[in-house]
A and B are shown apart, each in its own frame.
Chain A
Amino acid sequence: MQLYDMPDDRGHFGPYGGIFVAETLVEALEELRVMYERFRHDPEFLAEFAHDLKYFVGRPSPIYYAKRWSERVGGARIYLKREDLNHTGAHKVNNTVGQALLAKRMGKPRVIAETGAGQHGVATATIAARMGLECVVYMGSEDVKRQAPNVYRMKLLGATVVPVESGSKTLKDALNEAMRDWVTNISNTFYIIGTVAGPHPYPMMVRDFQAVIGVEAKQQMQEMIGRQPDAVVACVGGGSNAMGIFYPYLNEENVRLIGVEAAGLGLATGKHAAPLTANSSVGVLHGNRTYLMQDEDGQIIETHSISAGLDYPGVGPEHAWLKDSKRAEYVAITDDEAMAAFHSLCRTEGIIPALESSHALAYAEKMAATMSPDQVILVNLSGRGDKDINTVAGLSGITL
């Protein structure tokens, strides 16, 4: 396989990605692109990034062999990359540290972010507090209701949380509103996008900041089992934790890369958030061209997943490219399957996984059962499930 060299200088991954924004944003994106190009290989910048990841985030995150769970599933051995052990409890913080360092170098005193489940909002509020930056987080009003603890966390950290009332009042609308803020306050504001979507350079930049996951994993797997896993499995909403662990593995041909989308109530019901697995059509949303959930008029349709972090109608353009090029495979897991894996991991390993990550766990479980114990699956356990206990309790008819 050729050395992977994506995207091109205007952010294209084959036919996907690009810069599809109003003219009012073009100059800001160009400024960001130039600054990121300047710093992405700068030793001083990278040293500061590495320092913060080590001492503030707590990296490297360990890889843990889920022995009891693997034995119970029967089949392949399952290893977990423990992003849930990061400060703030998910992989999201890796990226916010990187972008906040860039914001500081660009002299922007104010950062904004969009958030769905609230993990990216919390991670942004956290780093903003540490660096003394003003922080405004846009969150769909539906999500504000669903994720009250994270809303309060952000407020404790000094951020302003703005409920977004437009459209479907979820993550996509929060992203629209953050873009509107950015275009209005361009001179003093840095927009910290939380996933590998948005216009160039965001998909590339977020991937690069998250790639620490895969870089560590390759080294850790070598140390632990003397080779790389047979498959790497990660959940995909926008797709940042998956890109982070996939990217360093792209040139490792023998490692299967599997992205797990949210099948919600089932692909056949239409109530899901799995544009890649369902072979949705291609379109333009949030600054890039990618697979989208849309109706025949090109209106974006509402998605469904039990997990707010996967409840997004698009997907990062690099995943669209990896699907078409067949370097990665995409599958989907229903709400019920994810819930079963969630409980299973809690009981056998003493780890409460995020509902997002539970989708990856559920697929790993299915897959492991068809494999032998000399084979290895590495799952990116992208976040912890403390934020989800209200949702889970509610499904059992319990009010906390």
Chain B
Amino acid sequence: MSRIKTTFDQLKQQGKKALVPYITAGDPHPDLTVKLLHTMVANGADMIELGVPFSDPMADGPVIQRASERALVHHVGLSRVLEMVREFRQQDNVTPIILMGYANPVEAMGQEKFSDRAQAAGVDGVLTVDYPPEECKEFTALLQARGIDPIFLLSPTTEPARVEVIVNQASGFVYYVSLKGVTGAKNLDIEEVAQKVAEIRTLTDLPVGVGFGVRDAATATAVAAIGDAVVVGSRMVQAVEQSNDQNLVDNVAALMKELRIAVDAA
């Protein structure tokens, strides 16, 4: 059984929601990424989304774009990210890692080679932002054959018929993008999110993660009341960006603790 399903099952028994922080691998420096992953787990992360840097992150807002640029200064590509996951797994064999990135680095490595290497490294889920389900049926099959969950986005504009197509190809969980826009945008409408997530639940038994607009404790609590997982991306990356070498780990730990309390308050 995948670590993702195990994690969701355990949280459900405990009556808790999953807290899923996102950081970009290699930001601010590749030597710090594994340490940050362990820090987030130690301070309340149930799963981690690890961003794969890309030169043209079309779906990301300025905060995550800058994170990609910082990582690319150190030439952190997909191979390097997989090495980081492997290193993380030496001390943590429980916490699911979901890679989030764009199609081209996967295409450059080759879908099958990537799937093999991701499995070997201990990756649990892969979210490829610009692979809609119609364009990645073979890739989905390659991942699932290796016990890796293909994670797909659902958006406020995704029609119910299309939600059905997507959830049929997805496993692990589905990720509801809670606003129209890029990552880190501001205008989160909680009522609209609740309505749409309820609609998604009539179409699938998969857990529903919610993200793209969770900025603080208040939005984290509100979203945790609706979804099964709360994904916090730009806010985490902002904490990384605003830290220096001395306070980076402490700042990330403090933000995680705050978010954990907020999610558990739902």
Interface residues of A (CB under 8 A from B): 10, 18-24, 26-28, 166-167, 172-173, 176, 179-180, 183-184, 186-187, 281-287, 289, 292, 294, 296-301
Contact = CB atoms under 8 A, between A and B. Distances in A.
11 contacts: A20-B132, A24-B181, A27-B159, A180-B59, A184-B181, A284-B130, A286-B58, A289-B107, A292-B104, A294-B104, A298-B104
A217 B55 CA distance: 40
Contact of B69 (A167, A187, A289): A167
B88 interface: no
B147 interface: no
B152 interface: yes
A287 B130 contact: yes
B155 interface: yes
Given A172-B56, A294-B104, A299-B77, A19 B135 contact: yes
Interface string B94-125: 00000000111111110000000000000000
A283 B134 CA distance: 17
Given A23-B154, A27-B157, A176-B58, A283 B182 contact: no
Nearest to A186: B180
Interface centre among B78, B130, B153, B159, by most chain A C-beta atoms within 10 angstroms, is: B130
Contacts of A18: 135
The residue in A19, A179, A283, A300 that gathers the most chain B C-beta atoms within 10 A of its C-beta is A283
B107 A23 contact: no
Contacts of B53: 299
Interface string B62-79: 100100010010010111
B52 to A, nearest CB: 9
Interface string B165-199: 01000000000010011100100000000000000
A298 B132 contact: no
A170 to B, nearest CB: 11
Given A18-B135, A183-B182, A23 B177 contact: yes
B132 A167 contact: no
Given A22-B153, A23-B155, A24-B157, A184 B57 contact: no
A149 B104 CA distance: 35
Contacts of B6: none
A292 B54 CA distance: 14
Interface size band for B: 35 or more
A199 to B, nearest CB: 9
Given A183-B182, A287-B130, A27 B62 contact: no
B185 A22 contact: no
Given A24-B155, A187-B180, A289-B107, 14 more contacts: A23-B132, A23-B154, A26-B162, A167-B69, A180-B60, A180-B182, A184-B181, A282-B107, A298-B54, A298-B107, A298-B108, A299-B54, A299-B104, A300-B55
B158 A26 contact: yes
A166 B182 CA distance: 15
B25 to A, nearest CB: 12
A172 B104 CA distance: 15
B113 to A, nearest CB: 12
B185 A24 contact: no
A300 B106 CA distance: 13
Contacts of B153: 22-24
B240 to A, nearest CB: 18
Nearest 4 CB-CB pairs, A to B? A297-B77, A298-B108, A298-B105, A27-B157
B129 interface: yes
Contacts of B152: 23
B87 to A, nearest CB: 19
Interface in B222-239: none
B155 A298 contact: no
A178 to B, nearest CB: 10
Given A22-B58, A23-B177, A297 B78 contact: yes
Given A19-B132, A23-B152, A180 B108 contact: no
B108 A166 contact: no
A212 B155 CA distance: 38
Contacts of A300: 55-56, 104
Contacts of A289: 107
A179 B72 CA distance: 22
A289 B77 CA distance: 20
Contacts of B75: 297
Contact of B65 (A166, A172, A292, A296): A166
A27 B196 CA distance: 15
B176 to A, nearest CB: 10
Max count, chain A CB within 10 A of own CB: residue among B56, B78, B180: B56
A294 B105 CA distance: 10
B58 A180 contact: yes
Contacts of B107: 282-284, 289, 298
